[in-house]
Amino acid sequence: MNQIQRPRLGPAGAVRRSRSAHDTALNAIGRAIVDGRLPIDSILPSKEELMAQIDVSHTTLREALQTLTAKGMVAAKARVGTRVLPEAHWSMFDADILAWRLEIGMPTAFIASLFEIRQSLEPVAAALAAGRRSEEDVANLRQLVDVLDTDTSDRETFVEADVAFHQLILRASGNPFMHSIAALISTALSASFALSAPAPRSSAVSLVKGQHLAIVDAIAAQDPQGASDAMMTVIRRGWTTYSGFGSTELSRLTVLSFDQT
């Protein structure tokens, strides 16, 4: 029987530190599912075993399993037990699931999927923002671009500013669904930018800053097509600078980008 260890803090703060017994149980079981120690379609150990392994109460374990059920990761069935569901059932934008994936290392195909969903949403959001933005939106976007100068900022600050920049554009689109997505995909954006952000003081910093400024300039000029094109350029740069991808996935993503024109 696979043992479920108590949760540990992931690299670079990828997984938030547990602050309650519920978090302890949730992170321990959820991480074990994501990393394969509790395989898809397997039945979880008995509640007694889980309580002993994780050192939590029956009530805490029940609440953690309810949370995992809501995330689409497990399903309980009378006289059978709690089964681990296929990934197709999981809430892919769930902050905990994404954090667990990031901690164990996201496969290239999964990272490609993140970039593809960004291509589907963010250029449209930028175009909408160009027609609906306020002067305050433009000013805030310019301030965030200034933070992207990593000669004076560390990598964590860069990623935080990058995430805030893209979230602000989703909100500035004026579309309530886009606004909801901004909060929903916060962790996905953080993971994506953490993998593709340039190193501090690298020659790529000025390029990144310039490309983001092009988005702001187009939005300020109320140029929807220019804003959409500039956003697509930023997303494609992020993908091409992501190290460790496979040529098959790169070709697939590049074709998708060109097909948008």
Picking from 42, 41, 81, the residue whose alpha carbon sits closest to that of residue 65 is: 81
Q: Which CATH number do you get for residue 57?
A: 1.10.10.10
Distance between CA atoms of 261 and 258, rounded to whole angstroms? 6
Cβ(112)–Cβ(246) under 8 Å?
no
CATH number for the domain spanning 140: value is 1.20.120.530
Q: Are residues 84 and 113 in the same domain?
A: no
Is 6 contained in some domain? no
Quick: pLDDT tens for 67-106.
999 999 999 999 899 999 999 999 988 889 988 988 887 7
Host domain of residue 250: 107-259
Which of these, 212, 174, 188, lies nearest to 116 by C-alpha position?
Answer: 188
**Predicted model pTM:** 0.73
Tokens of 24: 């302890």
Residue 4: burial class (beta carbons within 10 Å; 0-12, 13-18, 19+): buried
Which tens digit of pLDDT belongs to each residue from 186-227? 776 776 666 666 665 566 778 888 999 999 999 999 999 999
Reported confidence tier of residue 8, pLDDT bands at 50, 70, 90: very low
